[in-house]
Amino acid sequence: MINALVAFAKFFLVVQVIVGGSLFIGLVLILSLTGTVTMWQMIAMAGGGVGLLATAGFAAVLFQISDRLAQLISQNQTGPQALPRQSGTSRREPALRSDR
């Protein structure tokens, strides 16, 4: 599961960088070559930049989660923890039918 999570984060990051980065760079080139920019081009450039930042943050969170899960699994602490028994309290075991 951890490998799948990391693979998804890497794939998502690569796709977003390609799409958002190409959109952002392409519109910056259009602006520099033509000297004019429309409102929609400015919105698209801002969206591409914000998308890149959001994706980097999302991928960083996924990497942190996967690292923490890997640490917990390596320490065998992912299962339910047994509660410590209190000393001085006795618990009566249920009687078996053969004991009666």
Tokens 């000297």, located at residue: 35
Domain membership of residue 27 as a residue range: 16-31+41-71
In a domain, 63, yes or no: yes
> What residues in the chain have per-residue pLDDT under 50?
78
Whether 66 maps to a domain, the answer reads yes
Within 10 Å of residue 41's Cβ, how many Cβ atoms?
A: 16
pLDDT of the residue at 55? 74
**Backbone dihedral angles phi then psi of residue 90, each to the nearest 5 degrees:** -105, 145
Structural domains counted in the chain: 1
CB count within 10 Å of CB 34 equals 9
pLDDT tens readout for residues 65-80 = 877 877 777 776 545 5
pTM above 0.75, yes or no: no
Question: Please, what is the Cα angle at 13 between 8 and 16, to 5 degrees?
Answer: 120
Residue 8 makes CB contacts below 8 A (sequence gap 6+) with: 62
58 lies in a domain? yes
